[in-house]
Structure 1
Amino acid sequence: MLLLAGCAAVGPNYDGAPGIAKDALAAARFARGDANDQSTAPVAATWWRALNDPALDALVDQALRDSPTLQAAEARLRSARATLSTQEANRRPSGSASALGAGVWQAPGTDHESTLHLYSVGFDATWEVDLFGGPRRAVESATAQAQAVQADLADAQVSLTAEVAQTYVGLRAQQRRQALLRDTAAVDAQALALARQRLAQGVAPADDVEQRAQQAETTQAALTDVAAEIAASMDRLALLTGQAPGALDAQLASATPALPAAPREVAIGDPAGLLQRRPDIRAAERRLAGRTAQIGQEKAKYFPKLSLLGNIGVAATDPGKLLRADSLALAAVPYLSWNFLDFGRTAAAVRQAEAGRDEAVANYKAAVLGALQDANTSLSRFGQQRQALLHLRAQQASTARALDLAQQRRQAGTASQVDLLDAQRRDTDARLKALDGEAELLKDFVALQKSLGLGWEAA
């Protein structure tokens, strides 16, 4: 029986995840990537530092340290590791010690008045011999599950760093938008005042006044919306970093907010590296390994269980006689049990475990294909947004030149103040569109880093 304990465990052995999208993963570069925007440098886990923004660096560091989401993920990891320790302990013998001191006294008035004392010390041990690998498969499954939960923690770090960066970019963009809208509001106020003066002088129609008033009200409404978005972004960042709403207001308030600059080249690696970096793929693969081991764990129930029971004890009526040889009692008993009449319960459990394994295979395939789709889509959007931003900046440069010409004509007396104000408004509108393009490019950069599985370290 001890020799049987060293035999291979029942159930399928895990030989690795199935192959999926082999051609795409073997390619040297991503299908949607622009070679001009890709760098051959190694990818960086702390990708946000490439934006050179100390405030963002501090927020990400604080979020990784104090985020309640990560703390919950860390607690789940500790729980999974404790489960693994329990399964490992189940493969080892279990023992207990006991000690007894008792006295029986017969009261006077009976036929025999006497007192009896009994003292005993004993040690019991039990060990289930792993004949068919059930406990081994349980340890194998628990190990894989703990590794999957560890990958979940890394995936939570990836999502957290990306959300902090995107929220921060949105905050800085809204703060800059607020400053530009205030400039627009000042221009609208001047244009409305001039329109009213011209109406009073009879040189402008009433429709012009109403149009200017509508523009001014639209700008004021936009300023109100921006203020609400700024407050929401600050509160969101406070939550992500484990703080109460309002805790970051003073730290993030800025009279001259600036957006980080997206790097010209981005290190993205290759599809094969993506398979190794993405924590969600790692988690899916480890859960597949755990589900495979559970099949053997259930199949082991088809076979008998052998347990070895042992007892060492001493007993005497006098404490001084406990150490005598005739007080010693030894027992070693093999115990064989076999639940062969289970009316299909084990077969049903095996089928359930096999279905769980098949589900894990499908989930793994979906994770790989989803990661490839995510990375390629993010690369395409990042590249296209670069081109869109170039056009927006060209438009901004054009309106700036037009404003300069309007100022020259105004100084020469060939253009009115209204013409100059209209040119200023068009220039501000172009700057707002360029700002939106810059913010969108940064958000696409963040989404790209998330799609590449960056934002966590193996430490």
Structure 2
Amino acid sequence: MSKRRLMNTAVATAALAFLGACTSMAPKYERPAAPVAAAFPDAAASGVPSAPATDIDWQAYFADARLKQLIDIALKNNRDLRVAVLNIEAARATYQIRRADLFPTVNVGMNLQRQNYDVKELYTVGASVSGYELDLWGRVRSLSDVALANYLGTEEARKSVQMSLISQVAQLYYTMLGDEAALKVTRETLTTREDSFKLTKLKFDNGAASELDFRQSESLLENARASHALQTRLRAQDENALALLLGQGVPSDLPGGLELTGQGLVAELPAGVPSEVLARRPDVRQAEQQLIAANANIGAARAAFFPRITLTANGGTASTELSGLFKSGTGVWSFTPSITLPIFDAGRNQANLDVAKVNREIAVAQYEKAIQTAFREVADALAGRANLDEQARATAAATASEEARFKLADLRYRNGASSYLDVLDAQRSLYTAQLALVQVQTAQVQNRVALYKALGGGWTEPKAQ
């Protein structure tokens, strides 16, 4: 075979490959309309609005140096995030395999054949293309599009895992700060009740207090000890849970942290338009990529109804002597096209197409569910933002009133102006109010994190300085 003929064959094969790549039988993709309201409830924000959550990287959003270091450790060590990254690598490799199917695979080889008759040795050198499918109906292209969508979906899944991990670390860190504050309140309450019990016991021993007062004081003291043990256990469990997220033990050399009420988080994140904001969330994007993949699968299923054309070609030189391989007249070639036309498959192709169509409808429903779930998360966080500040203000005022009440009741009891029952009631009410204040303050900062995550913040990489 002459070099010119070999080149013409290669050019023809490439041209056919190009023509095959130009056709797709997949339906045109159209993003479904978001099945949610046109605006978020309680979306109005006071003050000067900040940048959208998706434009604020987590290092800029969180001000607590201790928390930032914990998040950084979790991003490096967390196993769920590591699995998500490995899934990306696997999906990328799969996409590269599918994309390679669009082009012929050319192999070059050299063979030596020994025979026991006539020609004893035959040397051959040449190139070959084996089993290359002309993608005239877009089957291979559609499968490549499926692999690409799956790859992009795994990248969005990685972003979603990162976003959730950052949120979980921050939420747990604030829970730990809240439990530390509650432990401090419990410890102070325990000290107060120990002092009160000592005074009551002294009065009881000297006949100045009844046994009822003594037993009530004793009961209140034991309740405080039980609460202290509970808060101590909760604080230890917080650290164990944090270690799981970090993928290692909590370091002992962390920088100093901020108080629960001084975290400096952005108070007002603009909610924006749901159809625009939610479409930027990684989990919603992942659901859309799954929908795109399902849509492309229909194209592959449709193409299966049409003939499949494959090409096998070989070209090179052959000689009975190694030194004569590249002499004139030694060219050899073969060209073997084949066509397979589906005639009867007992409905297999139609069933595959039906399955592909149903899977697309499932993917549409899953995409819409992802949109609706995201909308609810934003709405819930906005509702918390609208009410938690007022709840915290009212709870702080109630705690201040209970503290004043306890001091007054204790003073009146010590001076014999009121019964010990007033003191006990004031102690219980003050302790309850103090714990309620810690809880609402914890909920405040956790709500800021929940809104940041719900609006799609947390997966962006820190901006270069």
1:13 aligns with 2:23: no
User: How much does 1:103 deviate?
Assistant: 4.4
Task: Determine helix, strand or coil for the equivalent of 1:390.
Answer: helix
Q: C-alpha separation between the residues in 1 aligned to 2:182 and 2:255?
A: 15
1:337-393 deviation line (CA, Å, top 9, x unaligned): 223221111111000000100000111111112211221122112322222111110
Name the counterpart of 1:329. 332
User: How much does 1:268 deviate?
Assistant: 2.7
1:122 aligns with 2:134: no
Assess, with a 3 A threshold, how the Cα gap between structure 1 residues 448 and 423 changes in structure 2: closer, same or farther. Answer: same
Q: C-alpha separation between the residues in 2 aligned to 1:212 and 1:257?
A: 33
Name the counterpart of 1:142. 147
1:160 aligns with 2:170: no
Name the counterpart of 1:61. 72
Kindly provide the amino acid, as one letter, of the partner of residue 119 in structure 1.
Y
Kindly provide the amino acid, as one letter, of the partner of residue 381 in structure 2.
S
How many positions carry a matched residue from both structures? Answer: 443
Name the counterpart of 2:206. 201
TM-score scaled by length of structure 1? 0.87
User: How much does 1:131 deviate?
Assistant: 0.7
1:186 corresponds to which of 191, 208, 211: 191
Assess, with a 3 A threshold, how the Cα gap between structure 1 residues 207 and 48 changes in structure 2: closer, same or farther. Answer: farther
Residues 21 and 102, structure 2, Cα contact 8 Å, conserved in 1:
no
Name the counterpart of 1:87. 98
Q: C-alpha separation between the residues in 2 aligned to 1:91 and 1:51?
A: 47
Q: C-alpha separation between the residues in 1 aligned to 2:270 and 2:111?
A: 70
Assess, with a 3 A threshold, how the Cα gap between structure 1 residues 125 and 131 changes in structure 2: closer, same or farther. Answer: same
User: How much does 1:34 deviate?
Assistant: 4.5
Name the counterpart of 1:110. none
User: How much does 1:188 deviate?
Assistant: 1.4
2:380 corresponds to which of 377, 381, 392: 377
1:399-428 deviation line (CA, Å, top 9, x unaligned): 3434565687799x5769978897677545
Task: Determine helix, strand or coil for the equivalent of 1:324.
Answer: coil
User: How much does 1:18 deviate?
Assistant: 1.2
2:240 corresponds to which of 223, 235, 240: 235
Q: C-alpha separation between the residues in 2 aligned to 1:318 and 1:21?
A: 75
Q: C-alpha separation between the residues in 1 aligned to 2:78 and 2:201?
A: 55
Kindly provide the amino acid, as one letter, of the partner of residue 93 in structure 2.
A
Assess, with a 3 A threshold, how the Cα gap between structure 1 residues 33 and 437 changes in structure 2: closer, same or farther. Answer: same
Residues 266 and 448, structure 2, Cα contact 8 Å, conserved in 1:
no
Residues 173 and 259, structure 1, Cα contact 8 Å, conserved in 2:
no
1:345 corresponds to which of 344, 348, 352: 348
Name the counterpart of 1:214. 219
Kindly provide the amino acid, as one letter, of the partner of residue 12 in structure 1.
P
Structure 1 unaligned spans of 5+: 107-113
Residues 42 and 386, structure 2, Cα contact 8 Å, conserved in 1:
no
Kindly provide the amino acid, as one letter, of the partner of residue 45 in structure 1.
I
1:197-256 deviation line (CA, Å, top 9, x unaligned): 222122222222222222222222222222222222112222212214xx33564899x9
Q: C-alpha separation between the residues in 1 aligned to 2:360 and 2:441?
A: 46
Q: C-alpha separation between the residues in 1 aligned to 2:81 and 2:161?
A: 7
Name the counterpart of 2:323. 320
Stretch of structure 1 that moved more, 263-272 or 158-167:
263-272
Assess, with a 3 A threshold, how the Cα gap between structure 1 residues 416 and 252 changes in structure 2: closer, same or farther. Answer: farther
Residues 172 and 259, structure 1, Cα contact 8 Å, conserved in 2:
no
Assess, with a 3 A threshold, how the Cα gap between structure 1 residues 252 and 52 changes in structure 2: closer, same or farther. Answer: closer
1:242-283 deviation line (CA, Å, top 9, x unaligned): 214xx33564899x9645446573113312332232111111
Kindly provide the amino acid, as one letter, of the partner of residue 117 in structure 1.
E
Percent identity (aligned): 27
Name the counterpart of 2:88. 77
Q: C-alpha separation between the residues in 1 aligned to 2:26 and 2:459?
A: 35
Residues 81 and 162, structure 2, Cα contact 8 Å, conserved in 1:
yes
Residues 184 and 425, structure 1, Cα contact 8 Å, conserved in 2:
no
Name the counterpart of 1:109. none
Q: C-alpha separation between the residues in 2 aligned to 1:390 and 1:370?
A: 31
User: How much does 1:166 deviate?
Assistant: 0.6
Q: C-alpha separation between the residues in 2 aligned to 1:356 and 1:268?
A: 36
Task: Determine helix, strand or coil for the equivalent of 1:65.
Answer: helix
Q: C-alpha separation between the residues in 2 aligned to 1:425 and 1:374?
A: 36
Assess, with a 3 A threshold, how the Cα gap between structure 1 residues 444 and 262 changes in structure 2: closer, same or farther. Answer: farther
Residues 173 and 439, structure 1, Cα contact 8 Å, conserved in 2:
yes
Q: C-alpha separation between the residues in 1 aligned to 2:181 and 2:114?
A: 87
Stretch of structure 1 that moved more, 37-46 or 440-449:
37-46
Residue pairs, 1:17-56, within 5 angstroms: 17-21=31-35, 24-25=37-38, 27=39, 30-36=40-46, 39=49, 41-43=51-53, 44-46=55-57, 49-56=60-67
Name the counterpart of 2:270. 268
Q: C-alpha separation between the residues in 2 aligned to 1:241 and 1:342?
A: 54
Assess, with a 3 A threshold, how the Cα gap between structure 1 residues 448 and 42 changes in structure 2: closer, same or farther. Answer: closer
Name the counterpart of 2:11. none
Residues 49 and 57, structure 1, Cα contact 8 Å, conserved in 2:
no
Kindly provide the amino acid, as one letter, of the partner of residue 155 in structure 2.
Q
User: How much does 1:40 deviate?
Assistant: 5.4
Task: Determine helix, strand or coil for the equivalent of 2:33.
Answer: coil
Residues 129 and 314, structure 2, Cα contact 8 Å, conserved in 1:
yes
